[in-house]
Amino acid sequence: MKTVFSRPASLKDVATHFCPGCQHGLIHRLVADAMDHFGVQQQTIGVASVGCSVFLYEYFDIDVVEAPHGRAPAVATGVKRARPESCVFTYQGDGDLAAIGTSEIIHAANRGENFTALFVNNTTYGMTGGQMAPTTLPGQRSLTSPEGRDVALDGYPMRMAEVIAALDGTAYSVRVAVNSPKNILAAGKAIKKAFEYQLENKGFAFVEVLSSCPTNWGMDALAANERVETEMIPYFNLGTFKERS
Amino acid sequence: MSERQLVAGNIAVAMGALAAGCRHYFGYPITPQSDIPAYMSAELRKLGGTFIQAESEIASINMLLGASACGFRAMTSSSSPGISLKQEGISYMAGSELPGLIVNICRSGPGLGGIDASQADYFQSVKTGGHGGYRTIVVAPASVQEMYDLTILSFDLSDRYRMPALLLADSLVGQMKEALELKPYTLPSDLPAKEWAVTGKLWRSDQRIVKSLYLGEGELEQHNWKLWRRAEELKEKEQRSEGKYLDDAKLIVTGFGSAARIAKTAVEMAREAGMQVGFLRPITLFPFPEKAFAEATVSCKQLLCVELSTGQMVEDVRLSVARDAEVAFYGRPPGTGSLPTPEELFAQIQKHYGKGA
């Protein structure tokens, strides 16, 4: 009998704590698929951030360091420089990466640090209950923008994949989504490619994944997926913004 | 035979770190510690180590966290405002049970203050600068030789007790030049293996996780008690101090680091004047050498504590001495022209000498 589908070895066989409809579990699986694909589970050190994805070590069967809020790229820099033979990835949300940790991600990219950075953008602070994030869309209501994000007062959502792509140190920068089977397949490919860049010592690789947060958006999972399509993708265009050969 | 060189205190820290096997340095420019990154940038790349001038103090302490989590000896250096910025990372390192050396060549403050010799970061260093309640090893060198020796000791203690170590000095000790004896270093054979360090699982089936988040029932309380037990063991075994003329002392002068150097000269002046004055200098500030103070104040009931601040260490001195001992304080808050002279301190000794008799 031929196995056509199985759980990746890098992913533990446990139930996650994520809310119904949350796409962290799905993105975790794509990352685990990439580790399995390249056979690097035993060489990989993951760097967890603060937010819903802090429990990386509960779900990935790999060594993990937990970083302070926003600092995962700096911690990963220390890890990768100390152990250049290992495979290192960071996994951050939008508040972590694009607000409190803006400096760390920009400078890690600019130094061309040879690790893989995963950025899950769901336009909200999930764990603290749905506050306005640096990626919250204009007009989007949140716990701290009850009338909707007012760009005159709150500024504009940050397009991080484009910002990171503009830096000379970046080798690969891409934005993908996981709201449809087609987009999930493309996201899986992009994540694999971001690991490949690291394993070939090509430098900093960045994958922004548009994700939903049904709980804090006040929607069911299907409506949330629809919102990714109709509201997020038009603002955060999918595509490859940097691909150094 | 060991080699002797004429070097500045800051360079002695860098040389001590390299001697102790530290090959990973992360920092950010700030006066008066800039000699350390300058030296490290030249030497570490020759040795195949890591030198990163980070984008911020915050990034540099987190790079240190990462390298230390991998099991390597690693360090950062900065000065007071920079150390304030690093406190978040120091708290995470303490919570994650990570060793590592943080060097603070103090500036005067608060705020931007100035670059004069200062000891006003005593509270921040010894009483915990960051959140959450933890302890760090704190050493206070008073000479170029100690800058080297205590850097090495810090790495050893930090690895043994799995807590960050702070080296607290100032521009006086950091920038003066003295003869330094480069003693050969061997790693203590009884240091525990770093079986917690992340490497990638390699041959292992179990994960290694370096973290400070504990949400399980009772977990965090147990974790805190574990950290406390380690700090208690440190207090029991690792107190260090220098004492002189304590046997017949009627007044003991105390202070740490650069203030202690000036005080020691004043004590010698007093001895030459026929006064029975002793000298007791904490070398470790955490653990504070409370045993030495308790012992010295069995017979001597009068102390004078000298600091380059409005008075911080004096609180720990008062907690450590015999109940009936009196501790006087003389301090000069840091700033240009505020460094006390030996004559000034000798006048203080004359003022307090014989009072307790």
Q: Do B92 and A68 touch (CB under 8 A)?
A: yes
The domain boundary, picked from B182, B209, B228, lies at B182
- Assess whether B254 and B177 both reside in one domain: no
Beta bridge partners of B103: B77, B167
- Assess whether B146 and B78 both reside in one domain: yes
- Assess whether B141 and B23 both reside in one domain: yes
> How crowded is residue A18: how many other Cβ atoms within 10 Å of its Cβ?
19
CA distance B353 to B357: 9
- Taking 90 as the threshold, does the pLDDT of residue B152 lie above it? yes
Q: How far is CA B176 from the centre of its chain?
A: 18
Contacts with A, B 70-109, CB within 8 Å? 70, 72, 74, 88-89, 92, 96
Query: Which homologous superfamily is A24-126+159-215+222-243 in?
Result: Thiamin diphosphate (ThDP)-binding fold, Pyr/PP domains (3.40.50.970)
Q: Are B252 and B237 in contact (CB under 8 A)?
A: no
Q: Do B63 and A77 touch (CB under 8 A)?
A: yes
- Assess whether B156 and B14 both reside in one domain: yes
Q: What is the CATH number of the domain that holds B140?
A: 3.40.50.970
Written as one letter, the residue type at A154 is: D
Written as one letter, the residue type at A20 is: P
CB-facing half-sphere around the CA of A18: CA atoms within 13 A = 25
Q: Is residue B100 part of a domain?
A: yes
Query: Rounded mean pLDDT of B222-232?
Result: 98
- Assess whether B175 and B295 both reside in one domain: no
Q: Is residue B211 part of a domain?
A: no
Written as one letter, the residue type at A24 is: H
| B8/chain A closest Cα distance in angstroms | 28
Q: Do A103 and B52 touch (CB under 8 A)?
A: no
Nearest alpha-carbon partner for B130 in B165, B170, B91: B91
| Burial class of A127 by CB neighbour count within 10 A (0 to 12, 13 to 18, 19+) | middle
Q: Are A50 and A75 in contact (CB under 8 A)?
A: no
CA distance A13 to B200: 20
CA distance readout (Å), A174 to A76, A90, A145, A208: 20, 15, 29, 6
Nearest alpha-carbon partner for B329 in B253, B241, B246: B253
- Taking 80 as the threshold, does the pLDDT of residue B350 lie above it? yes
Q: Do A104 and B89 touch (CB under 8 A)?
A: no
Task: Suggest the residue from A65, A97, A110, A199 to mutate for an interface test with chain B (most B CBs closer than 10 A).
Answer: A65
* Both tokens assigned to B357: 């008799």
- Taking 80 as the threshold, does the pLDDT of residue B155 lie above it? yes
Q: Do A78 and B24 touch (CB under 8 A)?
A: yes
| A88/chain B closest Cα distance in angstroms | 9
pLDDT-derived band at B244 (thresholds 50, 70, 90) equals very high
Report pLDDT digits (tens) over B27-76: 999 999 999 999 999 999 999 999 999 999 999 999 999 999 999 999 99
Contacts of A158 (CB under 8 A, 6+ apart): A98, A134, A135
CA distance readout (Å), B168 to A4, A32, B84, B313, B324: 61, 44, 13, 13, 31
Query: Rounded mean pLDDT of B301-308?
Result: 98
Beta bridge partners of B139: B167, B284
CA distance B241 to B252: 14
| Per-residue pLDDT at A234 | 98
Domain that holds residue B332: 241-352
Query: How many domains in chain B?
Result: 2
pLDDT-derived band at B139 (thresholds 50, 70, 90) equals very high
What are A's interface residues with B at a Cβ cutoff of 8 A?
A: 41-45, 47-48, 54, 57, 61-68, 71, 74-83, 86-87, 103-104, 106-107, 111
CA distance B71 to B195: 9
Rg (CA), chain A: 17
- Taking 70 as the threshold, does the pLDDT of residue B98 lie above it? yes
Q: Is residue B322 part of a domain?
A: yes
Q: Is residue B145 part of a domain?
A: yes
Report pLDDT digits (tens) over B104-130: 999 999 999 888 999 999 999 999 999
Report pLDDT digits (tens) over A191-243: 999 999 999 999 999 999 999 999 999 999 999 999 999 999 999 999 999 99
Q: Are B43 and B95 in contact (CB under 8 A)?
A: no
Run of H or E including B295: helix B290-296
> How many CB pairs lie under 8 A apart between chains A and B?
132
pLDDT-derived band at B1 (thresholds 50, 70, 90) equals low
* Both tokens assigned to B344: 């000034």
Contacts of B346 (CB under 8 A, 6+ apart): B266, B269, B270
Q: What is the CATH number of the domain that holds B286?
A: 3.40.50.920
| A159/chain B closest Cα distance in angstroms | 22
Query: Rounded mean pLDDT of B91-99?
Result: 98
| Burial class of B81 by CB neighbour count within 10 A (0 to 12, 13 to 18, 19+) | middle
Q: Is residue B71 part of a domain?
A: yes
Report pLDDT digits (tens) over A24-67: 999 999 999 999 999 999 999 999 999 999 999 999 999 999 99
Nearest alpha-carbon partner for B109 in B91, B127, B83: B83
Q: Do A68 and B88 touch (CB under 8 A)?
A: yes
Task: Suggest the residue from A54, A71, A89, A114 to mutate for an interface test with chain B (most B CBs closer than 10 A).
Answer: A71
Does residue B110 have a cis bond before it (omega within 30 degrees)?
yes
- Assess whether B269 and B343 both reside in one domain: yes
Q: Strand, helix or coil at A98?
A: helix
| Per-residue pLDDT at A1 | 82
Put simply, whether the predicted model's pTM sits higher than 0.95 gets the answer yes
Nearest alpha-carbon partner for B158 in B216, B207, B100, B109: B100
CA distance B128 to B124: 6
Sorted by where each begins, the domain ranges of chain A are 24-126+159-215+222-243
pLDDT-derived band at B334 (thresholds 50, 70, 90) equals confident
Q: Do A63 and B201 touch (CB under 8 A)?
A: yes
Q: What is the overall mean pLDDT for chain A?
A: 97
- Taking 70 as the threshold, does the pLDDT of residue B356 lie above it? no
Q: What is the overall mean pLDDT for chain B?
A: 96
- Assess whether B177 and B299 both reside in one domain: no
Residues of B in contact with A79 (CB under 8 A): 66-67, 69-70, 198
Q: Are B37 and B25 in contact (CB under 8 A)?
A: yes
Residues of A in contact with B25 (CB under 8 A): none
CA distance B269 to A78: 50
Residues of A in contact with B212 (CB under 8 A): 66
